[in-house]
Structure 1
Amino acid sequence: MATIRNLGPVAQLRSEASAHVIRYRNGQIRQSGRGLVFWFRPETASISEVPMDDREMTLFVRARSRDFQTVVAQGTIGWRVVDPEMLASRVDFSIDLRTGRLRAEPVERIEARLSGIAGQTVLQAIGASPVGTLLDAGPAPLRIILDDILRAAPALAEIGVAVVSVRLDHLAPSSELERALQTPTFEGLQQKADAATFARRALAVEKERAIAENELETRTELARRETLLIAQEAENARGRAAGLAEAQGLEAAADAERIRLVEGARAEAEQRRAGIYRDLPPAVLLGLAARELAGKLDTIEHVNITPDLLASVLGEFRRTAPLAAPR
């Protein structure tokens, strides 16, 4: 916006470098340029200020495809002024000579013209194709068409405006149609997810079955080894029992042999003793018996001698007495 300082009958205008200022007097251009500073008389001057910087406007078009489906195109269009004097002659860019502000809204008029041309182009391009083709192709083909149309549009060239960029950020159907179009893809993805889930569960079941089979095989092997161990322990026990029985049999045989030898020796000794006693006289036998009896008795309190015993002793004594005389 230009800065105007009024000093009585004259005024000074100071403009920015991004604005093209045109001063008219009596319908003729007196001064024209960017960033001008000059004095003028307000009662005889008319001044226009045209912005020379690049501008951007928002594009939003709701169109219908060939198959009668609503499609929304959204983006931005960049434009600039290439001929400010021509533009000032076609669009009112005059400023208030007291405040320096634009009297009208010329930028909105230019953007309205741009929006009309772009909207008509988008409507025709979308209406020529079904919605599936448009969505599959994306916004790129439509952007190229729009860019070519706007750059070559006579309605813009004749007012000194040129399009510098066209961007389409969004090309989408209505929300209901978008959900309907998303359903097959969503269902396909859901089926893949379900298949993956089922495959994961089947793999988990297979792993669990493999683990159970491994555990069963391990238990079976342990049971078989336990059976072998029990059989081996039984065999070892039988071997130990047989060895023990054999050892006990050998020991019993040795004991029996020892007893037999001892008893044989004792029987032989008794037999010899009996043989010796057999040849002894009865008196001697009685004496030995008395001595043996005396050796087994601790004390003798009474001795009973019967007449029979005394008679037999005396009889034996008489028979042995003659044998002792020759000595």
Structure 2
Amino acid sequence: MAEIKAYPFVRQLRSEASVHIQSFSRGRRRRSGRGLAFWFAPDGASIVEIPMDDRDLPFLFNSRSRDFQAVSVQGIVVWRVADPESLAERIDFTIDLRHGQHLGQPLDQIATLLTGLAQQQAAQYLLDRDVGAILAAGVEPVQAQIEGGLTASPRLGEMGLEVVAVRVADISPAAELQKALRTPTFERLQQQADEATFQRRALAVEKERAISENELATQIELARRQEELIAQEGSNARDRAQADAAAKHIASEGEARTIRTIQQARADMERARVAIYADLPAHVMLGLAAREFAGKLEKIEHLNVTPDMLTALIGDALAKRAS
């Protein structure tokens, strides 16, 4: 926006380099250029200010496809003024000489013009295709259609306007149609998810079965080893019992042989002693018996000698003397 300072009888205008200024006095153009600064008399003066920088124009419009489905197109058109003098002849850019603001809405007129042309190009593209093909192709074809149509438009060239770029951000159908189009994909993805869940559960069941089989095999192996251990322990116990029985048998036989040897020795000694006593006289035997008997007695209080004993002793002594 131009800066205007008021002084008595005259005024001063200062403009930026991004705007084109045209000054008219009494119907004649006095000055024309970018970034001008000058003094002027307000009486009979008219000043035009045209922006020369690139301008962004967002757009959003609805159209329909060949199969009568509502489709909305959203994007932006970047435009600029290529010929300010031609544009000033078509659209009024006159500014207020006090505040430097446009008296009308020239930028809105340009926006309406560009939006209408862009919508016309997009509608031509959409009407030739079904909504499925439009959505599958994406934003590039309709963007190229709009940009090509605006660039080749003779009206914009005559007005001194130039389209710098066109960017289409989104093409979307109506909410109901969008939901309907999403349903097959959603169902397919849901089926894939269900299949993945089923496979995961099947894999989990298979793993559980493998784990159970491993546990069962481990239990069977442990039972077999335990059976072998019990059998081995039984065999070891039998071997130990047999070894103990054999050892006891050997010990018993040894002890029996020892006892038999001792008894045999005792018997031999007894036979030898009996053989010694066999030839002794009776009185000697009697005397030995008495001595043996006396040796085992601690105290003798009475001793009875019968006639029979004396008769036998005397008889034996006489028999020996006679011989």
Scaled to the shorter chain, the TM-score interval is: over 0.9
- Which stretches in structure 1 are left out of the alignment for 5+ residues? none
Whole-angstrom CA distance in 2 between matches of 1:178 and 1:19: 45
Q: Which residue of 1 aligns with 2:310?
A: 314
Is the contact between residue 283 and residue 313 of structure 1 (CA under 8 Å) also seen in structure 2?
no
Is the contact between residue 283 and residue 317 of structure 2 (CA under 8 Å) also seen in structure 1?
no
Q: Which residue of 2 aligns with 1:291?
A: 291
Q: Which residue of 2 aligns with 1:214?
A: 214
CA shift at 1:54, angstroms? 0.5
Q: Letter of the aligned partner of 2:45 in structure 1? A: A
CA shift at 1:259, angstroms? 1.0
Q: Which residue of 2 aligns with 1:97?
A: 97
Instruction: Find the residue that maps to 1:94 and give its secondary structure.
Output: coil
- 1:175–1:302 CA distance, 2 compared to 1 (3 A): farther
CA deviations over 1:109-161 (Å, ceiling 9, x no partner): 00101011111222222122110000000111000010000011122112111
Q: What TM-score, normalized by structure 1, do the two folds share?
A: 0.94
Whole-angstrom CA distance in 1 between matches of 2:268 and 2:98: 171
CA deviations over 1:152-189 (Å, ceiling 9, x no partner): 11221121111101000010111211111111111111
2:108 aligned with 1:112: no
Q: How does 1:2-21 map to 2 (within 5 A)?
A: 2-21=2-21
CA shift at 1:323, angstroms? 5.4
Whole-angstrom CA distance in 2 between matches of 1:71 and 1:295: 149
Q: Letter of the aligned partner of 2:24 in structure 1? A: Y
Q: Which residue of 2 aligns with 1:74?
A: 74
Q: Letter of the aligned partner of 2:318 in structure 1? A: P
Whole-angstrom CA distance in 2 between matches of 1:29 and 1:22: 7
Aligned residues: 323
Whole-angstrom CA distance in 1 between matches of 2:209 and 2:296: 91
- Which stretches in structure 2 are left out of the alignment for 5+ residues? none
Q: What TM-score, normalized by structure 2, do the two folds share?
A: 0.95
2:172 aligned with 1:176: no
Q: Give the % identical residues.
A: 50
Instruction: Find the residue that maps to 1:164 and give its secondary structure.
Output: strand
Q: Letter of the aligned partner of 2:307 in structure 1? A: A
Q: Letter of the aligned partner of 1:232 in structure 2? A: Q
Q: Which residue of 1 aligns with 2:201?
A: 201
Whole-angstrom CA distance in 1 between matches of 2:319 and 2:67: 171
Higher mean displacement: 45-54 or 263-272: 263-272
CA deviations over 1:206-242 (Å, ceiling 9, x no partner): 1221122112112211211121121122112211211
- Provide the aligned C-alpha RMSD in A: 1.7
